[in-house]
Amino acid sequence: MLVPHFEVTSSIPRELKTPGFWISRIQNPDKIILTEKQIKDLNIKIQESSPYLRDVLNIDIDTEKKKRTNIDYTNNFKTTLKYYYPTSLKQVGLKFFKTLENNIDFNAHTNLGFALSIGYARLKALPTDVPLSSSLDTLDLNRLSCTHLNPCSPLAVLYSTRDNQWYYVVSEISEGWIRADQLIFASKQAISDYINNKNIAVVTSRFTDIYKDTSLTHFYDNVKMGAILFISKIKGAIVEVKIPVKKDKNFSNNNLEFMYYYVKKSDISLGFLPYTQRNIIIQAFKQIDAPYDWGDNYGYTDCSGFIRQVFSCFGIKLPRNSKQQISIKDSIEINIQNRNLKAKTIISQGIPGITLLYLPGHIMLYLGYLGQDPYVIHSIRGCLGKDNKIHILNKVAITDLNLGDKSKNKSLLERVTLMNVVE
């Protein structure tokens, strides 16, 4: 049974919900944690240690295709989870998956190769816009959603559906199916020239709107925190950015052109933000109360998407999923049975603002402590209460780690197994 969870937000004092409270408890919040050069070195180490972060333009298309052409999608979904249509509550039959599988063309000889994503592009586990839920308790979660891609993300395109409406792509952070109207095919050289522009704007607001005119009246699209845009000119409070668009609706390799659109300077940073505890806490708090959104399906974010967006503002490239994020370098095991000792370990070894806390399936950002209680900011759907009902939060929230206390699942503190300081 799902119930609203009013206790969590009502029991947190008002001042704890502001970044200034936590910043004021840090001795030197403006100290540079890592320089730009050190962040580049960290990214190289993360890339080398994580098989989930890909250098897309160095992918060999033929090799990647051979790895995946024997995937049995029908059996994969048949043997793992039962799926439901969230509107009708009916269970999805095998015929649905078989129809999708039959539409996949592993031997497509279309103009596949490399592409750029455009707009709010979503990656899906299967080539369909039909949302599917894995249980009657999770009807609000589309389990086929993998992630969203920032605009202008480079893609290696492996194969297509027979109707040419979907393409299977590998991006830097994930792979899956993308709608044909959300990518532009282009040569590897054209993509490289575009994304290697050093004159960048980093989105630092929760969202920023992109406009077609300098008066900011003709809306084009919006992009999320951490997205990189490429600057053409700066005109006072307005920044002109270069955006890839399609010449026409065909799928040829010569379909890329660029338009010049506009964003508010106050919504972006000219280059990455300095990596300090103050800055990262401020960025995290800009997401307060943002709805929880599995796989970024509806334009918001889940737990790992939240973490990745925040750290992207500083040029730190994290993998997509929580388990991958906590494993970017040697993590600290805190699988301690004694609750008080575990809390003390988090407090003594964690650095507020730059420490990730992980429990299977969930990741959080450590803010600091009050008394003996560590506090975190995280995007959370809900937790099991002591009544063993699922108490729904569905947002980015400030909480301690006592959520779930006295439930059969146990508290967040009892379930935390790993921590990692991103420095």
Separation of CA 185 from chain center: 24
Contact at 8 Å (CB) between 422 and 313?
Answer: no
Q: What is the pLDDT of residue 138?
A: 85
pLDDT in tens, 189-232: 999 999 999 999 999 999 999 999 999 999 999 999 999 999 99
What span, in angstroms and rounded, lies between the C-alpha atoms of 349 and 343? 10
Q: Strand 228-235 relative to strand 238-246: parallel, antiparallel, unpaired?
A: antiparallel
Domain boundary at 217, 240, 270, which? 270
Whether residue 83 is contained in a domain is answered as: yes
pLDDT: is 120 or 250 the higher one? Answer: 120
Asked whether residue 300 falls in the same domain as residue 175, the answer is no
The answer to whether the CB of 131 falls within 8 A of the CB of 86 is yes
Do 255 and 175 fall within a single domain?
Answer: no
Q: Is residue 42 part of a domain?
A: no
231 domain residue, yes or no: yes
Q: In the predicted model, what is the mean pLDDT of residues 38-43?
A: 96
Q: Check if the beta carbon of residue 385 is closer than 8 Å to that of residue 403.
A: no
Edge-to-edge strands, sheet with 2-4: 2-4, 390-400, 373-384, 362-370, 355-359, 418-421, 332-333
Over residues 286-305, the mean pLDDT reads 92
- Residues 178, 217, single domain; the answer is no
What is the pLDDT, as a whole number, of residue 391? 83
For the chain, give the mean pLDDT.
90
288 & 232 share domain: no
Structural domains counted in the chain: 3
Is residue 109 pLDDT above 60, yes or no?
A: no
Radius of gyration over every alpha carbon of the chain, rounded to an integer in angstroms = 22
* pLDDT of residue 148 exceeding 60: yes
Q: Are residues 297 and 385 in the same domain?
A: yes
State residue 249's pLDDT score: 62
Q: Are residues 319 and 383 in the same domain?
A: yes
Q: pLDDT for 273-285, tens place per residue? A: 999 999 999 999 9
- At 341 the pLDDT is 96
| 24 in a structural domain | yes
| pLDDT for 247 | 79
Q: d(Cα 411, Cα 391) in Å, to the nearest integer?
A: 13
340 domain-assigned:
yes
* pLDDT attached to residue 101: 86
In the predicted model, is pLDDT for residue 352 greater than 90?
yes
Mean of pLDDT values over 402-412: 90
- The pLDDT of residue 2: 57
Last residue of a domain, one of 173, 194, 215: 194
Q: Same structural domain for residues 341 and 397? A: yes
Whether 254 is in a domain gets the answer: yes
CATH number at residue 233: 2.30.30.40
Query: Which residue, 171, 194, 217, sits at the end of a domain?
Result: 194
Indicate if the pLDDT at residue 7 is higher than 90: no
Residues 99, 155 within the same domain:
yes
The confidence band for 388, taking pLDDT boundaries of 50, 70 and 90, is confident
CATH of the domain at 344: 3.90.1720.10
Do 220 and 264 lie in one domain? The reply is yes
Handedness of CA 289, 294, 300, 301 (dihedral sign): positive
User: Each residue of 171-195: pLDDT tens digit?
Assistant: 999 999 999 999 999 999 999 999 9
When pLDDT is averaged across residues 142-160 and rounded to a whole number, the result is 92
Regarding whether 181 and 170 lie in a shared domain, the answer is: yes
The reported pLDDT for the residue numbered 291 is 94
Model confidence band, residue 422 (pLDDT cutoffs 50, 70, 90): very high
Has residue 38 been placed in a domain? no
pLDDT for the residue 242: 96
pLDDT at 278 (0 to 100): 98
Closest C-alpha among 178, 200, 169 to residue 120: 178
Question: Where in the sequence is the domain holding 107, given as residue range(s)?
Answer: 56-194
Residue with the larger pLDDT of the pair 386 and 326: 326
Residue 246: per-residue pLDDT: 85
Q: Mean pLDDT lowest for which of 137-141, 237-241, 374-378?
A: 137-141
Could you tell me if 253 and 292 lie in one domain? no
49 lies in a domain?
no
* Confidence label for 334 from pLDDT (cuts 50, 70 and 90): very high
Convert the pLDDT of each residue in 68-86 to its tens digit: 766 666 666 655 558 899 9
| pLDDT of 368 | 97
**Taking the complete model, does pTM exceed 0.75, yes or no?**
yes
Confidence of residue 327 (pLDDT cuts 50, 70, 90): very high
In the prediction, which pLDDT does 73 show? 63
SS3 190: helix
% of the chain exceeding 90 in pLDDT: 68
Are 335 and 397 contained in the same domain?
yes
